[in-house]
Structure 1
């Protein structure tokens, strides 16, 4: 661990480059160990969970699964759910699907729920969810075509078909909520929890 203020190791139960970059950006060293999780199966097994609760459920499940393999080590799990009119939206499979989805978002507001959980030795020690509301502007078809060409197939790897840290920021006319929540972690709450757990200094 290189940061002088980090007192304990931390494992990130995720393959997300965005979440790893967030942690590195605030000076934390994390080890990536993605959880082997059937997310779609978990969603289907819990059809009554609200989208925000599902985000936390997925984060907890990831953190617990990895923490059972890493005795004594604190594990951070994170997950994000996109909600549109009460329904959970999954990643698009093709660029054509991305285009159709973005057209459906045009001129409307949808929500991103970012869940996070900390687990140690198979037990959850902390959980949190934060929500951001994103209003998509009435963009033109010419803009959409240029956007799809610029970003390419990478858009199928991100829920919603946009990266706020990239050209996708141009999609929006208004955002209510925390920037880090949109990127994939409710960072302020995570940092406070890590202080409570003794991972970083107060």
Structure 2
């Protein structure tokens, strides 16, 4: 079996693959994540996932490499990671009481094949008071996450409901990813 590499420094993606009992190593890449306004959000996350995977695959061509990226989309606008506290507050205020999409793109590469896909999950926030937003900002959780929240942490208290794959909101659509990895010879260790 080929070595399997996760091309992501995300602790959440690492935890999800560990949850699925898949053996892997982590190797991050440094790519430009500037939002390309020409691409749709679905195209953008798949493009970034592929760029991350390719950057690692270029020096590991005997491996299977997985790259992934997640964005939050509100009213057609991509919300990436906040630049600072004020930007995070602005994002959370915009998301308050509204439904948005979380789109996660995945790319899997080997020397024989390549697969890219995305999963979209709809998330509805509660109407948030300024005090609730400030309390969440105090957790420091929003600052390294798309849309300025993490559903797997205290950010779960902001979410009224979701429609779709919870794990895609966390950062990796786990069940679909495991199924796709099986086509590359990567399977859970059970």
Q: TM-score range by the shorter chain?
A: over 0.9
Structure 1 unaligned runs (5+)?
A: 1-6
When normalised by structure 2's length, the TM-score is 0.92
Q: Deviations over 1:21-41 (max 9, x none)?
A: 11111111221111221111x
Give the Cα separation in 2 of the matches to 1:37 and 1:29.
25
Q: What is the Cα deviation at residue 147 of structure 1?
A: 2.1
- RMSD over aligned Cα, in angstroms? 1.7
Q: Please state whether the residue corresponding to 1:170 is helix, strand or coil.
A: helix
Q: What pairs with 1:17-96 in structure 2 (closer than 5 Å)?
A: 17-40=11-34, 43-44=35-36, 47-96=37-86
Q: Structure 2 stretches of 5 or more lacking a match? A: none
CA shift in 2, pair 1:66/1:124, >3 Å: farther
In structure 1, what is the equivalent of residue 136 of structure 2?
147
Instruction: Give the number of equivalent residue pairs.
Output: 189
Taking the aligned partners of 2:142 and 2:170, their CA distance within structure 1 comes to 14
Instruction: Report matched runs for 1:154-193 at 5 Å.
Output: 154-193=141-180
Deviation at 1:14, TM superposition (A): 0.9
Q: CA deviation at 1:96?
A: 2.2
How far apart are residue 124 of structure 1 and its match? 5.3
Q: How many angstroms apart in 1 are the aligned matches of 2:110 and 2:52?
A: 12
TM-score with structure 1 length normalisation? 0.87
Ranges of 4+ aligned residues in structure 1 off by more than 4 Å:
none
**1:69, 1:170 → 2: CA distance?**
41
Post-superposition shift, 1:139?
2.1
Deviation at 1:177, TM superposition (A): 1.1
Deviations, residues 144-200 of structure 1 (Å, cap 9, x unaligned): 222222x12x42111111111111011111111111100111211110111111111
Residue 35 to residue 124, structure 1, CA distance change in 2 (3 Å): farther
User: Superposed, which structure 2 residues align to 1:1-16 within 5 Å?
Assistant: 7-16=1-10
- Structure-1 separation of matches of 2:113 and 2:71: 20
The structure that has the greater radius of gyration is: 1
